[in-house]
A = this chain, B = another copy of it.
Amino acid sequence: MQKFANDPSNMVNESIRGFVKCYPDIVTYTESERVLKSTSAQDKNRVGVATGGGFGHDPAFIGYIGQNMLDTVAAGEIFMTPALEDLCIAFRHADTGQGVACLYGNYERDIACVEKAIEIVKKEGIIVKSVIANDDVALSDPDKRRGSAGEILMWKVGGAAASLGYGLDDVIRVAQKAVDNTKSISVGLASCIIPMVGQPNYLIETGTMEIGVGHHGTSSLDTCKLRTADATVDIMLDSILRDMPLNEGEEVAVLVSGLGNTMLMELHILFNRIYDVMQEKSIKIHRSYVGNYFTSLDMMGASISVMKLDDELKEMMDVPVYTAAFNHFHNKK
């Protein structure tokens, strides 16, 4: 395995340590090394925003901790649910007496663990309400749909609402609206290597690609010939727009994320086509993000997320944010 590692089984811990040493102005430890909190989390008497999930999606999730976004994150092992106690710690540190919004993804084990943690801290007088992201349209059944890169937009919106002083129910309402208005789809060109395994999870034949691939190195089983970048974008946007039709004059936020081993150059080529398609449809891109925002270890491929905006969501997207992975101040489009 051509990786910079000391002990493959300890990469998550060492990576988190390096992350905290790199961003002492943004994040700090809690009593658990697997639970990080924003350095500005505690000094605000407002709703807290927390999340938890498996590692391996760098810069998600810990990269989105910071001013006006996530207050606390509980990190699990690679692609694994965080520890129950770590979720409780994340809720406790996010709470300032106004309650906590837990914004996370639609994965069975995560849901079971978050719900247990909510019960535990409830006995301590901490109210936690949650929104479960299911933005990935790869699966037709909405209940089975996974959370993917769209979670970032949910975190952005929820964090903005909390920073504006919204009460818990309103933070939950706008975060849920963000999820309801966000659709994502991923295409894989090569699978990922889980460090403790040391070899690719499975093979995507050269010259083929997988539509609707997930974020955990499992095959979508929907393989087709590798298309041009433009044709690939068209397939991806079709599946998004089939699920969420957009009318002329509507505004959107677009997030294009590499899955790991895809060049930024390629992602801009994908966005170039997305922009043109949206323009043809007279849909205005209010904000756009292109980069490695939500990866799947070293997988090759990319995801496209589109969030339909109303005035409230636009306001939320425009709130300044300052985190390790995602920040903007005045880049109004």
> Chain A residues in contact with chain B, CB under 8 A?
2-6, 11-12, 14-19, 21-26, 55-56, 58-59, 189-190, 204, 206, 209, 226, 228-230, 232, 260-273, 275, 288-290, 292, 295, 297-298, 300, 302, 322, 327, 329-333
Contact = CB atoms under 8 A, between A and B. Distances in A.
A171 B267 CA distance: 34
Contact of A21 (B204, B275, B302): B275
Contact of A232 (B4, B265, B292): B4
A22 B273 CA distance: 11
Nearest to A270: B4
A260 B263 contact: yes
Listed from nearest, the 10 A-B pairs whose CB atoms lie closest are: A18-B272, A18-B268, A58-B264, A4-B266, A2-B189, A4-B229, A18-B271, A21-B275, A25-B331, A15-B268
Q: How many copies does the complex hold?
A: 2
5 contacts: A16-B268, A18-B275, A18-B290, A26-B331, A56-B265
A102 B273 CA distance: 33
A329 B322 contact: yes
A241 to B, nearest CB: 19
B297 A15 contact: no
Nearest to A269: B14
Contacts of A270: 4, 18
